[in-house]
Amino acid sequence: MTDTIARYFAAFNAGDTETMLDCLDENIAHHVNEGQIRVGKEKFAAFCAHMSRCYKEELTDMVIFSSEDSSRAAAEFIVNGTYLVTDEGLPEAKGQTYRLPGGSFIELKDGKISRLTTYYNLADWIAQVSGKPAPA
């Protein structure tokens, strides 16, 4: 199980969407931070295309935790990124860099990721790319 998750995150860091998709169940439930739940590989691929256009990110300091029965896991990491193109409703992109903690909660089914819930502090990210202090 942790092999699938490690493979998924290695593909994320390599910008390899095809390998990321190969790690997913056909009916993946993708719970996006501050967004709607997207169901299915097609919607996940569209999300990845959008993210690749707007952001360049690498996850470091990865720690993966898993349940005894290998059905659920969590990953904690640091998101190191560059804001490339303005994302609708967010501050203007000017090549700003950012670094913030994040995490994912994962459910597996038949060796594939069937649920992926991602979290990071959006207010912290906005403060970093806006050059304003983060809210207390």
| Domain locations along the chain | 2-129
Question: pLDDT, tens digit, for every residue of 33-74?
Answer: 878 899 999 999 999 999 999 999 999 999 999 999 989 999
pLDDT of residue 135: 67
Average pLDDT over residues 66-85: 95
Task: In whole angstroms, give the CA distance from residue 119 to residue 104.
Answer: 6
pLDDT of residue 1: 65
Query: Average pLDDT over the chain, rounded to whole?
Result: 94
Question: pLDDT, tens digit, for every residue of 99-131?
Answer: 999 999 999 999 999 999 999 999 999 999 998
Report whether pLDDT(18) > 70. yes
pLDDT of residue 111: 92
Average pLDDT over residues 11-32: 96
For tokens 């898993």, name the residue.
Answer: 66
Distances (CA, A) of 76 to 15, 34, 47, 136: 19, 18, 21, 22
What does CATH list as the number for 2-129?
Answer: 3.10.450.50
The amino acid sitting at 58 is E
Residue 61, exposed/middle/buried by CB under 10 A (0-12, 13-18, 19+)? exposed
- pLDDT-derived band at 134 (thresholds 50, 70, 90) equals low
